[in-house]
């Protein structure tokens, strides 16, 4: 659309956001493919109803992961609006993030399918918590790369705000790592942590703070 | 694309519409994955033809759900054009709507697969009707949230028109709830209601009415 | 993005094209899901190689349907550039077209899976030819609806050109209907027709002709 | 959006890029569908953990193919920014490229599923290397077609740079062909080559060189 940049790299974050949006939308919609009545069940209305109701762990996992990916979608846009530009390194780290987002349907499937067997719950929950930890780690890497020495973030972004976000994303990784550890010890508390964190992330994100200097309107449209 | 808003939230409905469009397009296209010749059938042309023809309940369910999601796609755009802006709450309710839209392939699959077994039809149809009720409820919530105290709708939208839409969406939820109840009692009438409602929604949507004051051209481009 | 139209309908073809593009892209990419090594095969390199090579009918069907959907994608854009606007009826007929495009992976799967069993080839090829006929019929309906009384086509489009396209699309439906009939009688000739037609449609589309009146530059950008 | 071109062909590369982006995003996200716990495994936490860990060849194949498609996505954009326009031939060759990209999940699945059986590794790795060779060949064809006689590339692109890219893409095809041959002889070296090449392509692409004539600012926005 725009002509070529002299150095052939993409400066604007627009295309990387569109691609990421595509992956988010596809991953979130693929979750439904894991909802299946087990073969051979449901030959009459009573057993079919039981089979449908018996999938509640899968519905729960579906709802949880759908919400999680939806939050990542919203927050991804929030984050990339803080970036003034992109570069090759950010592209690669963003690809890592997408790799982990696109991976989420698998632990979701494992959680939904194996929860009914009580003996396999600890492994299923731990794997699910790990599935949530991985994108949180990639997210932190994206942020650290972009904000280090203010490499890619908007120049007028407030220093304290950048620092606060760093702490917040570090904290997210820490609590998901804790959720993995807790899941090993007690899968109920582990799942409760995963659910609680997802609900927590439904809260609106922190309002960005831009530096105020003598010039009042520093927030420029790019 | 645009620079950052001072408070970091997305005001325009453009990106939420693009993401929703993606989910609609993916969910509608995933429906085909549920069309499958049962393993071991179709070893010659006669049995293969029978197997292909025998999938008619799945074709019917495919066509019905495809049409339904297509209508939601068209109406979603219609609705969001009535909104002057979006906010965090609308994002979350829209995500709930998408969660139920993306869920539709599952009851569609259940209906297509279990219709051939006569004894399991009541449960299959009831579940399908429920699958249509859920997005209707989320749709109503989206509208109530956006139109309550004219929170997000275009300021020049006519009061009477807003009221009429509220009644219409309440009515939709009511008839789908009725379709669920009817399906429990008589699955043929239940399915007929679901089909009839889908056909009804093929009619063009209600033309929006904008307030006319002394100033003749109140309909502004945003 | 744009403000609301007074009557709430979408005049521009932009959003319907974007949605259609999404369905084309998803349907074309879902085709790969039907490529599967049969369970239990391929326990050593020799049998795995045989299993991989033995899927050649599926590769052929994959390539044929991929090309076909790709052609529809390109031609869809070509067609919609001839339209000055869209309306509710066109939306519905386009949805019918998308329904048949999104359906194509199923007859593709049937063709690839059942070709190896010689006795089931006639039914498999006939169903595949039918799968190609259906979108051709919907395409014709889209065109007839849009061009009838020049309802939606660009006003400056040459009458003779409109007439030629009508004949061409009628001809397409006729040859695919013939391919279905031929497949019933001789599946080899039926498949040859389907393949030949696909190759034929790889040719560039007919150049639109715009009316030339005394004013030399009638072709306006909308 | 733009009005019709007089000859009805698409000059801008925008729409072909958007469609290609869609296919890249879908193919990359579909990779997760091949991650599955074998039926019947994982009835308790120990066996489930074993089954999850036992999928490591699938995780490896997932990561490798995800990275590969991600690189193709980034490079596709890089390449198309060198093109001043598109034509029917480029559309078809690009479709061939997409056909091979969308095919990648299948050899990825074969590699992940059949690696655990040691005897079937040579065929699995050879097929995977072939799966990487095919899009490299299509990529070369796209480039040769577009750059031959400077048919579609930006007119101000430096001749030497065009020549260097040709050599680079020829080299890519050569090394992937070599990887196929090596895989036949020794699958470990074959897989090492595939992995090494993917890592190599993580390096940033070559900076385009534009001709400098007496007029200093030849790089125009189109």
Mutate which of A1, A2, A8, A134 to disrupt the D interface (most D C-beta within 10 Å)?
A: A8
CB contact under 8 A, A30 and D30: yes
Q: Could you tell me which of A123, A163, A166, A161 has the C-alpha nearest to residue A144?
A: A166
What is the chain C residue with the closest CA to D117?
A: C43
Q: How confident is the model at residue A192 (pLDDT cuts 50, 70, 90)?
A: very high
Higher pLDDT, D218 or A134: A134
Q: Of A20, A23, A28, which to mutate for an interface test with B (greatest number of B Cβ within 10 Å)?
A: A28
Q: What pLDDT is attached to residue C167?
A: 95
Query: What's the CA gap between D79 and A10, in Å, rounded?
Result: 12
What's the mean pLDDT in B166-182?
95
Set of chain D residues whose Cβ sits within 8 Å of the Cβ of A104 = 32
Contacts of D110 (CB under 8 A, 6+ apart): C37, C42, C48, C52, D124, D127, D128
Q: Which residue do the tokens 């469009």 mark?
A: B21
Name the nearest CA neighbour of B183 among A48, A60, A56, A54. A48
Confidence of residue B1 (pLDDT cuts 50, 70, 90): very low
Determine contact, residues B10/B16, Cβ cutoff 8 Å. yes
How many angstroms separate the CA atoms of D131 and C53, rounded? 14
Alpha carbon distance C5, B219 (integer Å): 8
| 3-class state of residue A158 by DSSP | coil
Token duo for residue C1 = 């993005």
List all chains that touch chain B, counting a touch as 3 or more CB pairs closer than 8 Å: A, C
Q: Indicate the residue of A30, A92, A98 with minimum beta-carbon distance to D202.
A: A92
Tokens representing B119 are 């004894």
Rg over CA atoms, chain B: 21
What is the pLDDT at residue B90? 93
Query: Which token pair is A84?
Result: 């003034």
- Here the tokens at position A186 are 């007690």
CA distance A200 to A196: 6
Cα-to-chain-centroid distance, residue A220: 29
Q: Which two tokens stand for residue B7?
A: 């408070």
Residue with tokens 């407030």, as numbered in its chain: A158
**Residue B41 confidence (pLDDT):** 79
* Residues in CB range of D74: below 8 A, 6 or more apart: A91, D205
| Per-residue pLDDT at D136 | 96
Token readout for C122 is: 């006639």
Whole-angstrom CA distances from C23 to C26, C132, D14 are 5, 17, 18
D39 touches chain C (CB under 8 A): no
* pLDDT tens figures, C89-98: 999 999 999 9
Q: Is B109 helix (H, G, I), strand (E, B) or coil?
A: helix
Q: Within an 8 Å CB–CB cutoff, is residue D209 touching chain A?
A: no
- Cβ D52–A27 below 8 Å, yes or no? no
B53 close to A (CB below 8 A): no
The rounded radius of gyration (Å) of the Cα atoms in chain A is: 21
Radius of gyration of chain D (CA): 21
SS3 A203: coil
Residue D151 tokens read as 């048919």
Q: Are B152 and B146 in contact (CB under 8 A)?
A: yes
Contact A124 D206 (CB under 8 A): no
Distance CA C110, CA D151 (A): 41
Chain A residues within an 8 Å CB radius of D222: 2-3
Instruction: Output the CA angle D143-D144-D145, nearest 5 degrees.
Output: 90
Q: pLDDT tens for residues D46-100?
A: 889 988 998 999 999 999 999 999 999 989 988 999 999 888 899 999 999 999 9
Question: Which residues share a beta bridge with C210?
Answer: C157
pLDDT at A7 exceeding the cut of 70: no
Residue D130's contacts (CB-CB under 8 Å, 6 or more residues apart) are D107, D180
Record the pTM.
0.89
Statement: residue D119 has pLDDT above 80: yes
CA distances from B100 to A31, A104, B69, B71, B140 (A): 12, 19, 11, 14, 13
CB pairs B-C closer than 8 Å: 113
Distances (CA, A) of B179 to A48, B66, B101, B191, B205: 19, 19, 18, 8, 22
Summarize the confidence of residues A198-209 as an average pLDDT.
84
List the single residue in A with minimal CA-CA distance to D154: A4
Residues D101, D142: Cα–Cα separation, whole Å = 14
Residue with tokens 């799945």: B58
| Tens digits of residue pLDDT in A82-111 | 999 888 899 999 999 999 999 999 999 999
The C-alpha angle with vertex C135 and arms to C130 and C137, in degrees rounded to 5, equals: 85
CA A107 to CA A94: how far, in whole Å?
Answer: 21
Q: What are phi and psi of D210, to 5 degrees?
A: -105, 145
Residue bearing the bigger pLDDT, B210 or D194: D194
Q: For position C36, what pLDDT does the model report?
A: 87
Q: Tell me if B201 sits within 8 A of B71, measured CB to CB.
A: yes
Taken as a whole, chain D contains a residue count of 222
Note the residue count of chain A.
Answer: 222
The answer, yes or no, to whether residue B209 has pLDDT greater than 50, is yes
A38 interface with D at CB cutoff 8 Å: no
Determine the Cα–Cα distance for residues D113 and D106; give it in Å rounded to an integer: 11
CB contact at 8 A, B146 and B188: no
| φ/ψ (deg, to 5) at D83 | -95, 135
Q: Which of A12, A32, A38, A164 to mutate to test the interface with B (most CBs of B within 10 A)?
A: A32
In angstroms, what is the C-alpha Rg of chain C? Answer: 21
Bridge partners, residue C153, by sequence: C83
Residue A57 has pLDDT above 80, yes or no: yes
pLDDT of residue D217: 42
Residues A6, D220: Cα–Cα separation, whole Å:
10
**How many angstroms separate the CA of residue D81 from the nearest CA in chain A?**
6
Chain D hits for C219, Cβ within 8 Å: 3-4, 6
Chain D residue with minimal CA distance to A18?
D21
What are the backbone dihedrals phi and psi of residue A204, each rounded to the nearest 5 degrees, phi first?
A: -65, 145
Predicted local confidence at residue B195, as pLDDT: 93
Please report how many Cα atoms fall inside a 13 Å half-sphere around the Cα of residue D83, on the Cβ side.
28
Q: In this prediction, what percent of chain C has a pLDDT beyond 70?
A: 90
């Amino acid at each position: 659309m725009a002509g070529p940049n002299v150095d052939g790299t993409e400066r604007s974050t627009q295309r990387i956001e569109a691609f990421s949006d595509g992956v988010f939308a596809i991953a979130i919609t693929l979750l439904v493919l894991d909802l299946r009545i087990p073969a051979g069940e449901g030959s009459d209305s009573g057993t079919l109803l039981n089979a449908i109701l018996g999938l509640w762990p899968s519905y729960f996992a579906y709802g949880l992961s759908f919400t999680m990916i939806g939050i990542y979608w919203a927050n991804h846009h929030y984050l990339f609006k803080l970036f003034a530009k992109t570069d090759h390194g950010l592209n690669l780290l963003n690809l890592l993030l997408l790799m982990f987002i696109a991976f989420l349907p698998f632990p979701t499937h494992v959680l939904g399918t194996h929860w009914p067997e009580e003996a396999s719950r600890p492994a299923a929950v731990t794997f699910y918590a790990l599935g949530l930890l991985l994108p949180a780690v990639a997210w932190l890497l994206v942020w650290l790369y972009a904000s280090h020495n203010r490499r890619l973030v908007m120049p007028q972004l407030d220093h304290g705000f950048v620092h606060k976000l760093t702490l917040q994303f570090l904290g997210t990784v820490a609590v998901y790592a804790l959720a993995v550890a807790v899941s090993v010890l007690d899968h109920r508390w582990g799942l409760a942590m995963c659910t609680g964190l997802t609900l927590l992330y439904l809260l609106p994100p922190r309002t960005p703070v831009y530096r105020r200097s003598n010039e009042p309107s520093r927030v420029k449209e790019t």
